[in-house]
Amino acid sequence: MAFSADELRVLRRALAHALKTTSPSTPLGALGPEWSQDIQEYLRLAEAVDEAVREGGRLRAFLLADLARYRDALPGSATGYLAQLKEALAVGHVPGPDDLAALRSLPRSGGKAECERRSALLRHCEQLAEHSVRTRLRALPGGRSATRGGREPEPEREPKPERKPEPAPAPRPKGPQRDRPIPTPGEVFPPRRKPAPPPESRTA
């Protein structure tokens, strides 16, 4: 049975949590034979997990050193470099800018199957690198994970302008309203016209 690096870390935390359930000042003999045996098994398993983690770190460092040597010898070491890169990815290596640049620089003249294999490996490495960058950005202070559980923050809404109360209409004067203005005396009593003079009689 094999564990990945993430699974080993989870198992190590679970063992540490199980060991913390017992007070360190309590002697093992006071807990009973069954519980004491369980604690001893937890300790042995924790030591084995720690050793596996250390061994995995040594193996990873060895693979990365070989990968760097093959990468420096490109393009003549393309076959060995691709094999070392796959082994490094299997143990949790995240491809960096050097690996992506090396994959993009490899020639695509080795046949259709080989070209498709290299293109697929390049896409896979690009996805791993992008996911790693996003994870680091979320872990930064003020990142997406720090606000609303990793969800996109809502855009700030502009405050609505306060509505001013409309001025009250001016009070109207009391009394009956007149549609027409009051006539002037000149309109009521127009001036009299002077009578026209009689026509002059003509003499024969």
Q: What is the pLDDT of residues 135-161, one digit of tens each?
A: 888 888 865 554 455 455 555 566 566
* Residue 28, domain member (yes or no): yes
Residue 204, pLDDT score: 45
What number of other Cβ atoms are within 10 A of residue 60's Cβ? 16
Residue 6, pLDDT score: 65
Report the Cα 60 to chain-centroid distance in Å: 31
Exposed / middle / buried, residue 160 (Cβ in 10 Å: 0-12, 13-18, 19+): exposed
Number of domains in the chain: 2
List, in order, residues 6 or more apart from 105 with CB less than 8 Å away: 74, 75
Question: Is 190 a residue whose pLDDT tops 60?
Answer: yes
* Residue 86, domain member (yes or no): no
- Looking at residues 95-110, what average pLDDT do you find? 87
Residue 57, pLDDT score: 81
Pick from 99, 159, 152, 162: nearest CA to 128: 99
If asked whether residues 107 and 47 sit together in one domain, one would say no
If asked whether residues 61 and 130 sit together in one domain, one would say no
Domain interval for residue 106: 94-145
Report the Cα 73 to chain-centroid distance in Å: 39
Between 185 and 115, the higher pLDDT residue = 115
If asked whether residues 112 and 140 sit together in one domain, one would say yes
DSSP 111-130: -HHHHHHHHHHHHHHHHHHH
Q: Among positive and negative, which fits the CA dihedral 49, 51, 54, 55?
A: negative
* Residue 40, domain member (yes or no): yes
Cut 0.75: pTM above it: no
* Residue 177, domain member (yes or no): no
If asked whether residues 64 and 127 sit together in one domain, one would say no
If asked whether residues 56 and 6 sit together in one domain, one would say yes
* Residue 31, domain member (yes or no): yes
If asked whether residues 59 and 4 sit together in one domain, one would say yes
Q: Domain boundary at 47, 77, 107, which?
A: 77
If asked whether residues 4 and 73 sit together in one domain, one would say yes
* Residue 161, domain member (yes or no): no
If residue 132 lies in a helix (H) or strand (E), which one and from where to where?
helix 112-139
Average pLDDT, the chain: 75
If asked whether residues 27 and 69 sit together in one domain, one would say yes
Distances (CA, A) of 24 to 27, 30, 39, 57, 173: 8, 12, 12, 30, 94
Report the Cα 97 to chain-centroid distance in Å: 23
Residue 179 structure tokens: 């549609």
Least confident of 17-26, 122-131, 135-144: 17-26
24-74: pLDDT as tens digits: 555 555 555 666 677 777 778 778 878 877 887 888 889 999 999 999 999
